Structure 1
Amino acid sequence: MKISSYHKQLGDNVFFHKGINASYPFLQQWDRVYISTLFTYNWKITVDTINFYKAIIDDIDRIKVGGILATLKYDDLWEATGVVPIKGLLNRPGMLGDDNEIIVDELIPDYSLFNDTPFKYSLVGDSYLGYSTRGCKNKCKFCGVPEIEPQFQDYINIKEYVNGIKNKYGEKTHLVLMDNNILASKSFNKIIRDIMELGFEKNSKLNNKQRHVDFNQGVDARRIDEKNIHTLAKIAINPLRIAFDSIKLESVYRRGVELAAQNGIQNLSNYILYNYNDSPEELWKRLEINIQLNRKYGLNIYSFPMKYIPLLDTNRKYISSPNWNWQFIRGVQRILNVLKGAVMPREDFFYRAFGESEKEFREILYMPESILMNRGRELQTAEIDWKNKFRKLTQNERDELLSILCGNPSRKGLMNSIASIKNKKLHSILTYYIPKRPEKNDYSALLDLEA
Structure 2
Amino acid sequence: MNQRKVLLIEPNYSNKYPPIGLMKMATYFRNRGDEVVFYKGDLKRFIIERIALCCINECKSLAPEIDWDVFYPAIYSYIRTRKGAVLEDIDYSSSQYNLLLEGKIVDAKNYYWSGEWKKHPEWDFVGVTTLFTFYWDITIDTINTAKLLVKPNGRLMVGGVLASIQPDEVEKATGIKPYIGVLNTPGEIDKDDSQIIDELPLDYSILDEIDYEYPMSNAYYGYTSRGCIRKCPFCAVSTLEPVFIPYIPLQERIKGIIEKYGEQKDLLLMDNNILASPNFNQIIQEIIDCGFGKGDKFIQPNTFDKAFENLAEGVNDRAYRRRCFKEIVSLYEKLKGKSDDAFTLYRAMDDFQIRDITTVTKDNLLRIYPVLKPIYEKHFRPQPRQRYVDFNQGVDARLFNENNVKLLASIAIRPLRIAFDDLKSRPAYENAVRLSVKEGIKDFSNYLLYNYKDTPEELYIRLRINVDLCDELGVSIYSFPMKYHPIHSESNFEIDYSHNRDYIGINWNRKYIRAIQAILNSTKGKVGKGTSFFEEAFGKDLVEFKELLEMPETFILYRFFFKWLDGVNSFGPEHWRRCWRKCMETLDEETKKEILDIIHSNNFDDEKIAKFDNPLIKELFSYYSSHRNDIVDPKSDLYKLKQQYDSHPTIALKRKKNK
Give the TM-score, by structure 2 length.
0.64
The partner residue of 1:315 within 473, 490, 500 is 500
Partner of 2:37: 15
Query: Contact (CA 8 Å) 1:64, 1:96: kept in 2 or not?
Result: no
Asked if the contact 1:19–1:49 (Cα under 8 Å) also holds between the matched residues in 2, the reply is: no
**Is residue 299 of structure 1 aligned with residue 475 of structure 2?**
yes
Q: Which residue does the alignment assign to 1:442?
A: none
Retained in 1: the 8 A contact 2:133–2:487?
Answer: yes
Q: Does 1:66 align with 2:159?
A: yes
Counterpart in 2 of 1:140? 232
Residue of 276, 279, 284 corresponding to 1:184: 276
Q: Distance in 1 between matches of 2:187 and 2:523?
A: 46
Q: How far apart are residue 52 of structure 1 and its match?
A: 1.8
Equivalent residues in 2 for 1:83-122 (5 A)? 83-97=176-190, 99-122=192-215
* 1:371-410 aligned within 5 A: 371-376=555-560, 379-380=563-564, 381=566, 382-394=572-584, 396=589, 398-407=592-601, 409=603
8 Å CA contact 2:446–2:479 kept in 1: the answer is yes
Per-residue CA shift, 1:353-407, capped at 9, x if unaligned?
0111111111111111211111139943111111111121227455433311344
* Preserved contact between residue 3 and residue 104 of structure 1 (Cα < 8 Å): yes
Aligned to 1:169: 261
Q: Give deviations 1:194-223, integer Å, cap 9, x for gaps.
A: 111111111111121001010000000000
Deviation at 1:46, TM superposition (A): 1.4
CA–CA distance in structure 2, aligned partners of residues 258 and 147 of structure 1: 33
Structure 1 residue aligned with 2:615: 424
Q: Is the 8 A contact 2:509 2:601 kept in 1?
A: no
1:19, CA displacement in angstroms?
4.6
Contiguous gaps of at least 5 residues in structure 2: 1-22, 52-120, 300-383, 489-497, 567-571, 633-659
Aligned-residue offset at 1:18 = 2.0
Post-superposition offset of 1:70:
0.5
Structure 1 residues 71, 320: closer, same or farther in 2, change over 3 A?
Answer: same
Amino acid at match of 1:436: N
Counterpart check, 1:330 vs 2:514: yes
Q: Give the C-alpha shift of residue 408 in structure 1.
A: 5.7
Task: Tell me the residue number matched to 2:140.
Answer: 47
1:217 paired with 2:217, answer no
Q: Distance in 1 between matches of 2:595 and 2:459?
A: 22
Structure 2: distance between partners of 1:231 and 1:104? 30
Alpha-carbon distance between aligned partners in 1 of 2:255 and 2:151, rounded to the nearest angstrom: 41
Q: Is 2:466 the counterpart of 1:290?
A: yes
Distance 1:340 1:136 in 2: 31
* Greater Cα offset, 372-381 or 422-431: 372-381
Q: Are 1:25 and 2:25 counterparts? A: no
Q: What is the match of residue 216 of structure 2?
A: 123
Distance 1:240 1:417 in 2: 49
Amino acid paired to 1:360: E
RMSD: 2.0
Which structure carries more helix by proportion? 2
| Distance in 2 separating the partners of 1:377 and 1:221 | 41
Q: Distance in 1 between matches of 2:172 and 2:556?
A: 44
For the residue of structure 2 that corresponds to 1:115, the secondary structure is helix
Unaligned runs of 5+ in 1: 440-451
Quote the offset at 1:433 in angstroms: 1.6
Specify whether residues 245 and 291 from structure 1 end up closer, same or farther in structure 2 by C-alpha distance, changes over 3 A only: same
* Structure index of larger Rg: 2
Report the Cα offset of residue 54 of structure 1.
1.7
SS state at 1:202 partner: coil
The match for 1:369 is: 553
List per-residue Cα deviations over 1:57-92 (Å, max 9, x = no partner). 343852110001101111111111111101100111
The separation in 2 between residues aligned to 1:421 and 1:156, in whole angstroms, is: 65
Q: How far apart in 1 are the matches of 2:631 and 2:530?
A: 37
Q: Is the 8 A contact 2:511 2:550 kept in 1?
A: yes
Aligned to 1:35: 128
CA drift of 1:316 comes to 1.6
Equivalent residue for 1:77, pick from 170, 179, 191: 170
Count of residues in correspondence between the two structures: 434
Overall identity of the aligned pairs, in %:
44
Query: What TM-score does the superposition give when structure 1 sets the normalisation length?
Result: 0.92
Work out the CA distance in 1 between the residues paired with 2:519 and 2:187: 48
Partners of 2:222 and 2:269 within 8 A in 1: yes
Tell me if structure 2 keeps the 8 A contact 1:60–1:83: no
**Secondary structure at the counterpart of residue 169 of structure 2:** helix
How far does residue 121 in structure 1 lie from its aligned partner after superposition?
A: 1.7
Aligned position for 1:433: 624
8 Å CA contact 2:450–2:459 kept in 1: the answer is: yes
- CA 1:15–1:274 in structure 2 vs 1: closer, same or farther (change >3 Å)? same
- Rounded to whole Å, the distance in 2 between the matches of 1:388 and 1:110 is 60
